[in-house]
Amino acid sequence: MNLSFRILTGLLLGSIAGLMISRSNSALFVNLPGLLAPLGSLWVNAIRMTIMPLLMALVVVAIAGQGRSGRLLAIGGKTLSLFVGLILLSSLFALLFAAPLIGLLEICSENSNVVLASSQVTAERAPLPPFKDWLIGLIPANPFAAAANGDILPLMIFTVVFSLALIQIDERLAKNVITFFEATKQALLVVIAWIMEVAPYGIFALVLPITANLGTESVRLLGTFILMVCGLIVLLSACIYLGLWVLGHDIKKFAKTMAPVQVIGFGTRSSLATLPATIAASEILGVSQKTAGLVLPAAVTLFKFASPLARTAGTYFIAALYGIDLTVSEFVVIALAVGLLSFYSPGIPSGGLLIMTPVYLALGLPVEGIGLLIAIDLIVDMFITAANVTANLGVTMMLDGLQET
């Protein structure tokens, strides 16, 4: 059975078992959620242990590896600016629409307290450090300590500087370091694949205690959240069509050509697996293959258009589910942080969820919530990938048109 469907099966079985336990008076069944909760925590910890080294490997390979060939630098200011602008648009969508819609879910405090108790997560959070301390901390005195403490932004700044320095040294020496980090990345992706293989069991152990305590309320909340996020992703995707129309492109031809590519993306949940079909579609649409050959690989590597919207909405949902009240500034910080992290997410199904741990840790959100989002990510990630491949080709057409003018 496909892993995605096995994960969904774990979610369904955990939900059904939880609902049955919530209606049972058996002492054996009543104690089962407490017995399974540690197994769910073990699976979450297995995910967390890969985060920091994977992020470092991704950044080093992306900058130093491609920088030597000139591909990353050749993308140009227009391409990177468009990537950043559309990612900000995705984050803005989350701020404007996701937060208010999630507020309409009417998650009562009683159910939130039950969730907190079942996952052994406290709602108390340390206050954010003063801006001066935050600014000073951006340059880590000890990058290894930053990695150990989960200080993601200082570690990434060090990694970027280190990667840029690799471009300046002897190519033979730099290649050895890049090869090391490439091997590290590939090995960690194998570890993640192993972790994901047991994900159905981890999801089952995470969902059952929550469902057993919340009963049918959890089914209503999760189903409503999935419908809400997928609807917002479709609305966000429409902005790509609108942008192409404003620039004078034939959006009917674009929509017709993109349809099979979107189906492939919807089925594979991988922008990388959809790249050959995307390149073929660019030829049909008359895009310069010089532009397509440069922008599309970069887009697949760096550009995750719909991820900030979906992952930010998911973070808001987890905060509401666990009864954690976020301030306006924290809403903004989450949206911007998730948008930034989207540039470094692995190109694997649900990969964007696996690197959000630092955001949760920094704001005191329950990391167990990431496991819950992975459990319901099958449908959401299908819509994310379809939106991403649409944006990849849309951006390529926009840039090709701008170069011709």
Per the listing, tokens 């890049």 go with 178
269: region left, alpha or beta (phi > 0 left; psi from -120 to 50 alpha): left
pLDDT at 383 over 70: yes
Confidence of residue 73 (pLDDT cuts 50, 70, 90): low
pLDDT at 30 over 70: no
Is domain 3-404 classified as CATH 1.10.3860? yes
Q: Which of 99-108, 111-120, 267-276, 293-302 has the lowest mean pLDDT?
A: 111-120
Mean pLDDT of 117-131: 46
Per-residue pLDDT, 28: 65
- Cα–Cα distances in Å, from 2 out to 5, 269, 306, 380? 5, 12, 24, 17
Mean pLDDT of 139-167: 82
Confidence of residue 144 (pLDDT cuts 50, 70, 90): confident
Q: Which of 138-142, 147-151, 193-197, 331-335 has the lowest mean pLDDT?
A: 147-151
Altogether, the residues listed in the chain come to a count of 405
Handedness of CA 31, 36, 41, 44 (dihedral sign): negative
pLDDT digits (tens, 9 = 90+) for 3-22: 657 776 777 888 788 778 77
Mean pLDDT of 364-371: 78
Q: In angstroms, rounded to a whole number, what is the distance separating the alpha carbons of residues 214 and 104?
A: 18
Confidence of residue 231 (pLDDT cuts 50, 70, 90): very high
Q: Identify which has the larger pLDDT, 118 or 195.
A: 195
pLDDT at 109 over 70: no
pLDDT at 263 over 90: no
Per-residue pLDDT, 215: 55
pLDDT digits (tens, 9 = 90+) for 164-181: 898 888 888 888 998 999
Per-residue pLDDT, 208: 79
Are 383 and 230 contacting, i.e. CB atoms less than 8 angstroms apart?
yes
Mean pLDDT of 54-60: 77
Mean pLDDT of 97-119: 66
pLDDT at 347 over 50: no
Q: How far is CA 331 from the centre of its chain?
A: 17
pLDDT digits (tens, 9 = 90+) for 194-228: 887 887 888 788 777 767 765 555 566 677 888 99
Per-residue pLDDT, 219: 60
